[in-house]
Structure 1
Amino acid sequence: MPRFTPEQVRRRQLVAGALALVLVLVIGGCTVSLIGALRGGDDEQALTDPAPFTADDAAMAAAATPQGAAALENLPEGVELTPDEVMGIDVSSHQQDIDWAQVAGDGYGFAYIKATEGSGFTDTHFQQNWDGARAAGLTPGAYHYFTLCSPGADQAADFLAAVPPDDSALPPALDLEFDGACDDRPEADRAQAEIDAFTAVIEEAWGRRMVIYSSSEWREHYGLPVSDGRPDWLFSAGERPVQEDWAVWQMRFDGTVSGISGGVDIDVARIEVLRDHAEIPEGEGAITHDVAGD
């Protein structure tokens, strides 16, 4: 994943304030009140208001990985797909231009695509990758690379500007890692508050829980319960994850895929688990955490 200098981060943060206004156009006044609460306004109840609509989960699907497909060569030795599992990839501008027809020809059924990072940055290949994946028959999903150097609500504004709600797409994903361009390491309760600010806005707009990926370094530093009640995206090289209820499994970062130059992150998704864990039950709203009280 690309990294940015502190100066680039500061420039992106300056742009973020203007981009936050996009929320008014994307999801209307309900989210405006939510952002007011996240930024310390009076409307604290907005944090737990129900999502404004429920996503059509039946619209989310992914093509099965065919028997004998080239994609299966990236599986760890001795591992076989179960009937509910589909192979896919996750990509960004790091992979440059992608021939999505060749990717589909290898038997991949979905692609998580980097949309935004921090505030003020949209991946230069996002729309091209999103359109290309969909045209080739892959189910797209978008992910955001979170940074602790800008407010979560501002980052949410950027993400929604790039990726408006789409019931036929995979649930949006949040990538939690330490960014080399951001030296901030706030206390756990403050970091969790910014993550909650981000996820509350996105989940209210999409009507789905976000998929959560976090690096081992992040988890060791914060131990934050950000994936509670949400689909888990886990990394495990060489074998299946120990945790059994995962929704997405990244098995390698150096996979070989037709139509892409260089190494690629290879993933497996359980579409039914994604549907179940991303569903927001009627009447439920944002998931928040009182880290200080844990």
Structure 2
Amino acid sequence: MTRTATDNPWRLGLAAVVSVLAMACGVATAGPAAAADYSKAGENVAGSQILRHEGVQSGSPRFDPATGQTLGHDVSGHQGAVDWGQAAGAGARFAYVKATEGTGFVSPQFDQQYHGAHDAGLIRGAYHFARPDVSTGAQQADYFIAHGGAWRGDGTTLPGALDIEYNPYGDACYGKSQADMTAWIADFTRRYLAKQRRSAIIYTSTSWWKLCTGNAGGFGDTNPLWLARYAPEIGELPAGWDKQSIWQFSRTGSLPGDQNYYNGPMNRVEALARGGGSSA
């Protein structure tokens, strides 16, 4: 007769002792991994948590007329099918579209929104909603690239963007220390650069960056900044950046999606898409 482990009480007792000792020492034992929570993925969009935590300051945005500004939008599945022809007719010249979240969510509207923007003549790119609590930065960069975040040297595709902001599922910094968060972002951006030969854009707010990275300054020389701040002026930038490439200044408007200005004229947006420039 074939015997199993359950037939041997000594073996069961040893297994129990090992399990207790492992827990006492803080060592994880093998077992099914807890499923990541993506219940809010459809509503997690660039700035949704920044708006919730930081709010809106009254007044219209003010710009330096000498630099020129280029209007653009960012959208997600929340907007549904987008009329990009209307957006282009009203002055939009570029767009970012949510592609993925973590390593378990792909926006069901991504194809229509991403390709629709291109068909309407907009330069477009994809963004990834970061979930540092569910997997490594490199794993999420791979997932993003495989599901819409790849860069193409066609002159109409912007480099992928990492949306890193307050955690919609719990602790604002995803349970990470400032050093660990900085390392996670570096893990993502290194993998994206290695695979795409382009530096990812980093989308964030100054307040979140200070809170969760300790105002880390190691990204400004390589990764363009997409700043979220709903106020009349840009205000303070995160450490390491002396200018923003894109400013998301409003999450409201008559046109689809959030409102953004590229910090320069259209030829700067075109240069970023071609790979000939990384910032304004």
Give the TM-score of the pair, scaled to structure 1: 0.62
State how 1:133-282 maps to structure 2 within 5 Å.
Answer: 133-149=117-133, 150-162=135-147, 163-167=149-153, 168=155, 169-181=157-169, 183=171, 184-215=174-205, 216-223=207-214, 224-225=216-217, 227-229=219-221, 230-242=223-235, 245-257=243-255, 260=256, 264-269=257-262, 270=264, 272=268, 275=272, 278=278
Which residue of the other structure, out of 105, 112, 119, is the alignment partner of 2:96? 112
The separation in 2 between residues aligned to 1:196 and 1:207, in whole angstroms, is 15
Query: RMSD between aligned alpha carbons?
Result: 2.7
**What is the Cα deviation at residue 120 of structure 1?**
1.7
Looking at CA atoms only, which structure, 1 or 2, has the larger radius of gyration?
2
**What is the Cα deviation at residue 222 of structure 1?**
2.6
Which residue of the other structure, out of 9, 19, 30, is the alignment partner of 2:36? 9
**What is the Cα deviation at residue 177 of structure 1?**
0.9
Specify whether residues 238 and 135 from structure 1 end up closer, same or farther in structure 2 by C-alpha distance, changes over 3 A only. same
**What is the Cα deviation at residue 138 of structure 1?**
0.6
In the TM superposition, what whole-angstrom CA distance separates every residue of 1:77-101 from its partner, at most 9, and x where no partner exists? 6657556421000110111111111
Consecutive unaligned residues in structure 2, runs of 5 or more: 1-33, 40-58
Q: Which letter does structure 2 place at the counterpart of 1:158?
A: Y
Specify whether residues 96 and 112 from structure 1 end up closer, same or farther in structure 2 by C-alpha distance, changes over 3 A only. same
Q: Is the 8 A contact 2:227 2:248 kept in 1?
A: yes
SS in 2 for 1:142: strand
In the TM superposition, what whole-angstrom CA distance separates every residue of 1:78-134 from its partner, at most 9, and x where no partner exists? 657556421000110111111111111111000011111111211111121110000
Q: Which letter does structure 1 place at the counterpart of 2:278?
A: A
Which structure carries more relative contact order (alpha carbon 8 Å, separation 6+)?
A: 1
Q: Is the 8 A contact 2:96 2:126 kept in 1?
A: yes
Give the TM-score of the pair, scaled to structure 2: 0.65
Q: Which letter does structure 2 place at the counterpart of 1:187?
A: S
Consecutive unaligned residues in structure 1, runs of 5 or more: 1-6, 13-74, 280-294
**What is the Cα deviation at residue 231 of structure 1?**
1.1
The separation in 2 between residues aligned to 1:137 and 1:114, in whole angstroms, is 19
Q: Which letter does structure 2 place at the counterpart of 1:222?
A: T
Q: Is the 8 A contact 2:75 2:96 kept in 1?
A: yes
Which has the larger displacement, 165-174 or 77-86? 77-86
Q: Is the 8 A contact 1:145 1:176 kept in 2?
A: yes
Q: Is the 8 A contact 1:109 1:139 kept in 2?
A: yes
Q: Is the 8 A contact 2:61 2:249 kept in 1?
A: no
**What is the Cα deviation at residue 160 of structure 1?**
0.7
Q: Is the 8 A contact 1:213 1:232 kept in 2?
A: yes
Specify whether residues 8 and 128 from structure 1 end up closer, same or farther in structure 2 by C-alpha distance, changes over 3 A only. farther
State how 1:49-128 maps to structure 2 within 5 Å.
Answer: 76=60, 79=63, 82=66, 84-128=68-112
Q: Is the 8 A contact 2:151 2:160 kept in 1?
A: no
SS in 2 for 1:241: coil
Identity of aligned residues (%): 32
Q: Is the 8 A contact 2:179 2:213 kept in 1?
A: no
In the TM superposition, what whole-angstrom CA distance separates every residue of 1:211-258 from its partner, at most 9, and x where no partner exists? 11213234323323363212111233343424562110111111221x
- The number of residue pairs the alignment matches comes to 206
Q: Is the 8 A contact 1:251 1:266 kept in 2?
A: yes
The separation in 1 between residues aligned to 2:76 and 2:38, in whole angstroms, is 21
Q: Is the 8 A contact 1:178 1:218 kept in 2?
A: no
